[in-house]
Amino acid sequence: GEDVEQSLFLSVREGDSSVINCTYTDSSSTYLYWYKQEPGAGLQLLTYIFSNMDMKQDQRLTVLLNKKDKHLSLRIADTQTGDSAIYFCAVKVTGGGNKLTFGTGTQLKVEL
Amino acid sequence: DAGITQSPRHKVTETGTPVTLRCHQTENHRYMYWYRQDPGHGLRLIHYSYGVKDTDKGEVSDGYSVSRSKTEDFLLTLESATSSQTSVYFCAISGGEETQYFGPGTRLLVL
């Protein structure tokens, strides 16, 4: 089955850019997603990219997709303390059920 | 926010007792999912439903059963709770090609 991997922690200073990385194994994945989870809350969809795109920008967020290396990244520009959260990469599984496979999540800590 | 509620939000129970968690949606979405979230594992799919009375297993379905008798409700049952089922449980919904939207979660502690 699909395997999705992320690094566990990232620490940045306020105002810097953050880059969260994700690798996956299924080259036929069609949609790839980034979710944000704040403490004690559910997952909030941040953005997604379709597999025929290389990049997608949405305000401070930039998603880059390298299909050859099966690598997805999320860049957050001008990172703020409110961006501190866990970020999950998710990949749509081929086959029925509209199922997603999630990475283990990256804990982003923003320091003053 | 997608109209998803989960109940209860917190529960403490004892080993061996049955537990039922409820997910309710107001979006009339076809697909519903139950996940568990544990440190170091991210979210893992327990069961999902692709319509009323249509359900299928996910990757960690042992010890869990589900039922969906109407579009808006998806129930997750632990027939005999064990300490390894202590976790945070999330329900999600999807209309099809679009992404999944998540509920607020249920924290379950099995003593």
- Nearest CB to B94 within list A4, A44, A98: A98
Q: How confident is the model at residue A99 (pLDDT cuts 50, 70, 90)?
A: confident
pLDDT in tens, A60-79: 999 999 999 999 999 999 99
CB contact under 8 A, B100 and A31: no
Per-residue pLDDT tens over the stretch B68-104:
999 999 999 999 999 999 999 999 999 866 689 999 9
B62 touches chain A (CB under 8 A): no
Question: Chain B contact for A89, CB < 8 A?
Answer: no
Cα dihedral across residues A28, A33, A34, A40: positive or negative: negative
Q: How far is A92 from chain B (nearest CA, A)?
A: 9
What residues contact B96, with CB distance under 8 A and at least 6 apart?
A98, B30, B31
Q: Chain B contact for A33, CB < 8 A?
A: yes
- Is the per-residue pLDDT at B1 higher than 60? no
**Average pLDDT value for residue range A71-100:** 91
CB atoms within 10 A of CB A57: 12
pLDDT of residue B40: 82
The residue type of A19 is V
pLDDT exceeds cutoff 90 at A13: yes
Tell me the DSSP string of A32-87.
EEEEEE-TTS-EEEEEEEETT-SEEEETTEEEEEETTTTEEEEEESS--GGG-EEE
With cut-offs at 50, 70 and 90, classify the pLDDT of residue B2: low
Q: Do A83 and A110 contact (CB within 8 A), yes or no?
A: yes
Cβ neighbours of B58 in A, within 8 Å = 99
